[in-house]
Amino acid sequence: MAVTFTGIGVANAASGTGQVVTTTGSSLLVNDILVVLMSYDNSGGGGADPMTGTISASPASGSLGASVSAQTGLNDPGTASSGVCARCVAFRVTGQIVPTTNVTLSWTGTVVARAVALMKVSSALYTAYRTNSGATGQNGVAVTTVAHTTPSVTNGEGVLCWAAHENGAAITGDADTTNGSWSSVYGTFNGTGATGMAAYFQSKVVTGTATQSFDPTGTSSDWIVGSLIFTETAVPKIPPVTMYPRMPV
């Protein structure tokens, strides 16, 4: 058994309020985890995060429970639209979500130059987010490469790293093969140059216990990066059906 990571949807938009809608390209079962990454401009007053509250996600069918992790970041504040904001939120699926389901992300505030990516975290066993395991850090201002070191990841666990990039172009993922190889990058970008935004994931199931280095590259601009760690339990995701003998008639 192993934790698996599957990119299942992207969306992007220019300035607007209220919501972004993206469509899942894969089903999500009960106890899967849906990770939503949103990268957007720091277009609030004085370069503040323009979004208030948290991102909430609502599928047209199926159910999403409360978030099990929420990471946020603001980099290069001081002047409106000079930097980048990021929100990475993981939701536990509580009701099956079928492919082509619209996932609507809602918040309060006007957000400029948005990029959104969805990642499914699944396993035949129950997949748990390791509480307080992830980190947001090593933010880069006007750099080409940003470096992030995760907390220690135990052999067999899955680590999902994310990057929010103030640039309208794809990023190049980390090619490090220490204790396993990184997946291809998955995500999207919107806009052009410094007026754009990019949101990308990379994942790895590690083959040895240690920290992991996540060092994506791209056009020189502002970044926020972070990581989430997932582990399996010994509990089957779907309990077995108990068969009872027929009663005599």
Q: Are 106 and 53 in contact (CB under 8 A)?
A: no
pTM (2 d.p.): 0.90
Average pLDDT of the residues of the chain: 86
pLDDT at residue 16, rounded to an integer: 62
Confidence grade of residue 167 (pLDDT, cut at 50, 70, 90): very high
- Note down the domain range covering 56: 4-234
Q: Report yes or no on 240 lying in a domain.
A: no
Which residues, including other chains, have CB under 8 Å from residue 36's CB and lie 6 or more apart? 55, 57, 87, 88, 89, 90, 91, 103, 105, 116, 117, 118
Residue position matching structure tokens 């996932």: 103
Q: Report yes or no on 76 lying in a domain.
A: yes
Q: Report yes or no on 243 lying in a domain.
A: no
- Give tens-digit pLDDT for 83-141: 999 999 999 999 888 888 888 887 777 777 889 999 999 998 888 888 666 777 658 88
Confidence grade of residue 240 (pLDDT, cut at 50, 70, 90): very low
pLDDT at residue 110, rounded to an integer: 75
Q: Report yes or no on 206 lying in a domain.
A: yes
Q: Token pair of 43, please?
A: 């277009």
Confidence grade of residue 241 (pLDDT, cut at 50, 70, 90): very low
Q: Are 202 and 182 in contact (CB under 8 A)?
A: yes
CA angle 185, 187, 192 (to 5 degrees): 115
pLDDT at residue 237, rounded to an integer: 60
Q: Report yes or no on 242 lying in a domain.
A: no
Q: Report yes or no on 244 lying in a domain.
A: no
Q: How many CB atoms lie within 10 A of CB 84?
A: 30
Confidence grade of residue 203 (pLDDT, cut at 50, 70, 90): very high
Exposed/middle/buried for residue 132 (C-beta within 10 Å: 0-12, 13-18, 19+): exposed
Q: Calculate mean pLDDT across residues 13-31.
A: 78
- Identity of residue 95: G
Q: Report yes or no on 249 lying in a domain.
A: no
Q: How far apart (Å, rounded) are the C-alpha atoms in residues 171 and 199?
A: 9
Structurally, the chain folds into a number of domains equal to 1
pLDDT at residue 20, rounded to an integer: 78
The Cα-based distances of 196 to 28, 100, 189, 193 in angstroms read: 30, 27, 7, 6
Q: Report yes or no on 247 lying in a domain.
A: no
